[in-house]
Structure 1
Amino acid sequence: MKQLTRIRLINWHLFENTTIDCQGTTYFIGINGAGKSTILDAVQFALVGGQRDVRFNQAALSGGKRTLASYVRGELGTEGQRYLRGDATGVAALEFKNPDGTFFTHGAVIDAYEDGRSPDVTYFIVHNASLNDSWFFKTPGQLFDTRAFKRHLENFALPPNASARVFTRLEDYRVHLLNRLGQLKDSFPAKIVKGLAFSPLTDIRSFVHNYLLEENLLDVKTLQAQLETLRHFESLAADVRERIDSLARIEDLDKERLANRRRRITNTYVARRAQADVYLDELKSRRLELDSAKLDFQREEIQRGELSRNLRFAQSALTDAEIALRTDQTAQREKELRDKVTSLTAEQTLLTQRQADFDRSLAAELADAKKLKKFLAADKLEIPSALDSFLTEHATRNTEHALRNTQEALTTLGEHFSREQTLLNEQATQLTTEATRLEDDIRKLRTGDRETSYEAEAPNAARLRRILRAELGLGANEVVYLCDVLQIPNADWQNSVEGLLGFNRFTLLVPPAHYDDAMQLYRKHKDTIHGAALLDTESILNGTRNTNINEYALAKEVTTSHPAARVYVNLLLGHYVKCDTVEQLRDHRTAITQECFVRRNFTDSHLNPRVYKRWFIGERAAPRQIEQREQRIDEIAGELKNFNKRETALRERLALTRAKIRPFVELETALPALSRLVPLESELAALNKELATLDSHTVETLKAEVEKYQHERDQLQAEVNAAERKLGNLEEKIKQIETESIPGLERSADKSINSAESFLIQENADEETKSDVQKEFERRRERQPLEVILQNASRYENDYQTAEGRSRDRLREAKQAYSIRYDFGTDDADDAARYVTEKVKLVTSELPNYENQIAHQRGLAEQELVENFIHRLREQIEDARQQLAFLNDTLANLRFGGERFEFINQPAPALRQVFDMVMDSQQVMGDSLFDSDFRQRHQQGWDLLFERLTSVHDNESAELRELQDYRNYLQYDIRIHYPNGDRALLSQINAKKSGGETTTPFYVAMAASFAQAYRLNQARPSDTIRLALFDEAFSKMDTARTSSALHFMREAGLQVLLATPPDKSGSLLPYVDSVCTVVRKNNHSFVIEIDKSEMMEKLESQ
Structure 2
Amino acid sequence: MKEKQSKKIFTRMLMNNWGGISHKVMEFHEYVNLFSGKSGSGKSTVMDAIQVVLYGSISSTFLNKAADDAKNRRSVLSYLRGAQKDGSFNREDQDFCSQIVLEIKDTGKNTHTCIGVSFEVGKADTDIRKYCFFSHSGKIPEDEYLTEEGVPYTIAKLKKLVEARIESADNRGRGDVNRVYPSKEAYLKTVYDAIFGYVEPGRMMTMEKSAIALRMTNGTGQFIKDYMFPKSKEDTVATISDQLGAYREIKERVEDLEQRIKMLDEISQHNLALQKARADKIYVEQILKYIEIENCKAHLQSKEDDLQDILKKIEEKEEKRKSYLAEKDAYTKEQVEVEAELKASDYGQKEKELKEIENTIQLLATNSEQWRDIVKGLSAWEEDDEVSAYVSNQALHRIDDIRDGVVSEDSIEKLKQYLSDALDNINTELGDVRERIRENQKELQEKREMVEDLKNDRKPYRAELKRARQELQNILSTQYGRTIHVNIFADLFDITDEEWKNAIEGRMGRVKHSLVTAPEYTLDAAKAFRRMKQVKGIEDIDLMDTAAIVRDKPKADENTLYECVRAEEAYVDICLKRYLGRIKKCETVEELHETRDGVTKDCYSYSNYIFRHLRKNDYEKYACIGTKVSKAKLLELEEEAAKLKQEVEEDCRVEMALRAAQKFECLNQSTEQILHLSKAAEQLQDYYEKQEKLRLEVEELKRGDRTVELKKKKQELLELLKKNAEILNSIQSEVVQYAKTQGQIESNIKSFSEKINFLTEGFVVNEQLQNEVTDALKVQSEAAYKRDKTKEKDALETLEETEREELQRSRNKFNNAYPAYGFTGIEHENNVYDKVLNQCRKDFEPKYKEEFDKQYNLVYYTLRENVIASIHGEIKAAYRHKKEINRLLAKIKFSDSIYQIDIIPAQNENGQFYEMLTAPELDSKVFDDYGFEGQLSLGEDEFYQKYEEDIKRLTEKFMPPKEEDARSLSQYRQQMEQYVDYRNYLTFSMYEKVEDENGNVRKNAVDDMAGRDSGGEGQNPKYVALLAGFAMLYMQQTNRDSKIRLVLLDEAFSKMDKERSEVCLHYARELELQLIVCVPDERLQSLIRNVDCVYGFRRHQNQVSMMHIDKGDYLDMVEGNKE
TM-score, length of structure 2 as denominator length: 0.62
Partner of 1:956, secondary structure, is: helix
| Structure 1: unaligned runs, 5 residues or longer | 392-402, 434-643, 761-769
Aligned with 2:777 (options 771, 781, 785): 781
Distance 1:1012 1:279, change over 3 A: closer
Distance 1:94 1:867, change over 3 A: same
CA RMSD of aligned residues (A): 6.1
Distance 1:1082 1:930, change over 3 A: farther
Contact 1:108 1:122 in 2 (8 A): yes
Contact 1:1026 1:1053 in 2 (8 A): yes
Contact 1:107 1:124 in 2 (8 A): yes
* Residue number in structure 2 paired with 1:1034: 1053
Distance 1:896 1:340, change over 3 A: same
Contact 1:167 1:173 in 2 (8 A): yes
Amino acid in structure 2 at the alignment position of 1:902: Q
Structure 1 distance, partners of 2:680, 2:272, is 92
Amino acid in structure 2 at the alignment position of 1:915: Y
| Structure 2: unaligned runs, 5 residues or longer | 1-6, 172-176, 382-387, 432-654, 926-935, 963-967
CA shift for structure 1 position 30: 3.8
CA shift for structure 1 position 205: 3.0
* Residue number in structure 2 paired with 1:663: 674
Distance 1:290 1:1031, change over 3 A: closer
Deviates more, 1:978-987 or 1:770-779: 978-987
- Report percent identity of matched pairs: 18
CA shift for structure 1 position 908: 2.0
Structure 1 distance, partners of 2:1108, 2:1051, is 19
The yes-or-no answer on 1:165 pairing with 2:175 is no
CA shift for structure 1 position 141: 0.7
The yes-or-no answer on 1:991 pairing with 2:1011 is yes
Distance 1:681 1:167, change over 3 A: closer
Deviates more, 1:148-157 or 1:735-744: 735-744
* Residue number in structure 2 paired with 1:213: 229
Alignment of 1:467-478 (within 5 A): none
Partner of 1:1002, secondary structure, is: helix
Structure 1 distance, partners of 2:938, 2:1018, is 50
Aligned with 1:1043 (options 1043, 1062, 1071): 1062
Q: Which has the larger radius of gyration?
A: 1
Amino acid in structure 2 at the alignment position of 1:110: F
The yes-or-no answer on 1:825 pairing with 2:839 is no
The yes-or-no answer on 1:1013 pairing with 2:1028 is no
Partner of 1:124, secondary structure, is: strand
The yes-or-no answer on 1:97 pairing with 2:105 is yes
CA shift for structure 1 position 1049: 1.8
Structure 2 distance, partners of 1:84, 1:176, is 35
The yes-or-no answer on 1:971 pairing with 2:987 is yes
Amino acid in structure 1 at the alignment position of 2:127: R
Distance 1:771 1:965, change over 3 A: farther
CA shift for structure 1 position 779: 2.2
* Residue number in structure 1 paired with 2:146: 137
Alignment of 1:177-196 (within 5 A): 177-178=191-192, 179-186=194-201, 187-196=203-212
* Residue number in structure 2 paired with 1:76: 84
1:68-125 Cα offsets, whole Å, 9 max, x none, are 2333333332366665784432222232333333322222223344443226332222
1:710-745 Cα offsets, whole Å, 9 max, x none, are 9999999999x9999999999989999999887876
Structure 2 distance, partners of 1:1016, 1:956, is 29
Alignment of 1:132-531 (within 5 A): 132-134=141-143, 136-155=145-164, 159-160=168-169, 162=171, 164-178=178-192, 179-186=194-201, 187-199=203-215, 203-216=219-232, 220=237, 223-224=240-241, 226-227=243-244, 230-231=247-248, 233-282=250-299, 284=301, 336=345, 339-340=348-349, 342-354=351-363, 356=365, 410-414=408-412
* Residue number in structure 2 paired with 1:1054: 1073
Deviates more, 1:162-171 or 1:61-70: 61-70
Distance 1:87 1:286, change over 3 A: closer
Distance 1:854 1:135, change over 3 A: same
* Residue number in structure 1 paired with 2:3: none
Amino acid in structure 2 at the alignment position of 1:916: E
Distance 1:713 1:1042, change over 3 A: closer
Amino acid in structure 2 at the alignment position of 1:139: E
Structure 1 distance, partners of 2:861, 2:266, is 39
Structure 2 distance, partners of 1:414, 1:228, is 114
Structure 1 distance, partners of 2:729, 2:146, is 164
CA shift for structure 1 position 1063: 4.3
Deviates more, 1:263-272 or 1:722-731: 722-731
Contact 1:1031 1:1058 in 2 (8 A): yes
Contact 2:166 2:178 in 1 (8 A): no
Contact 1:300 1:723 in 2 (8 A): no
Structure 2 distance, partners of 1:665, 1:316, is 44
Distance 1:879 1:653, change over 3 A: closer
* Residue number in structure 2 paired with 1:559: none
Amino acid in structure 2 at the alignment position of 1:180: I
* Residue number in structure 1 paired with 2:918: 919
Contact 2:16 2:99 in 1 (8 A): yes
The yes-or-no answer on 1:121 pairing with 2:135 is no
Structure 2 distance, partners of 1:653, 1:35, is 129
Distance 1:288 1:931, change over 3 A: farther
* Residue number in structure 1 paired with 2:867: 869
1:249-293 Cα offsets, whole Å, 9 max, x none, are 444544544454345434433333233323443555567678889
Structure 1 distance, partners of 2:1112, 2:790, is 129
Partner of 2:199, secondary structure, is: coil
* Residue number in structure 1 paired with 2:493: none
* Residue number in structure 1 paired with 2:587: none
Distance 1:843 1:168, change over 3 A: closer
* Residue number in structure 2 paired with 1:955: 970
* Residue number in structure 2 paired with 1:581: none
* Residue number in structure 2 paired with 1:111: 120
* Residue number in structure 2 paired with 1:903: 901
Contact 2:118 2:133 in 1 (8 A): yes
Partner of 1:97, secondary structure, is: strand
Structure 1 distance, partners of 2:1085, 2:1012, is 29
Structure 1 distance, partners of 2:1059, 2:750, is 137
Structure 2 distance, partners of 1:73, 1:969, is 50
TM-score, length of structure 1 as denominator length: 0.63
Structure 2 distance, partners of 1:383, 1:986, is 130
1:126-156 Cα offsets, whole Å, 9 max, x none, are 22x2321447223231222224422453357
Distance 1:872 1:65, change over 3 A: farther
CA shift for structure 1 position 183: 2.6
1:421-478 Cα offsets, whole Å, 9 max, x none, are 8999999999999xxxxxxxxxxxxxxxxxxxxxxxxxxxxxxxxxxxxxxxxxxxxx
Amino acid in structure 1 at the alignment position of 2:761: N
Structure 2 distance, partners of 1:784, 1:271, is 15
Distance 1:340 1:269, change over 3 A: farther
Aligned with 1:18 (options 12, 19, 24): 24
Contact 1:201 1:1002 in 2 (8 A): no
CA shift for structure 1 position 798: 5.5
Contact 1:121 1:168 in 2 (8 A): no
Contact 2:1097 2:1105 in 1 (8 A): yes
Partner of 2:180, secondary structure, is: strand
Instruction: Give the number of aligned pairs.
Output: 848
Deviates more, 1:359-368 or 1:1036-1045: 359-368
Distance 1:1086 1:676, change over 3 A: closer
Structure 2 distance, partners of 1:71, 1:1071, is 32
* Residue number in structure 2 paired with 1:569: none
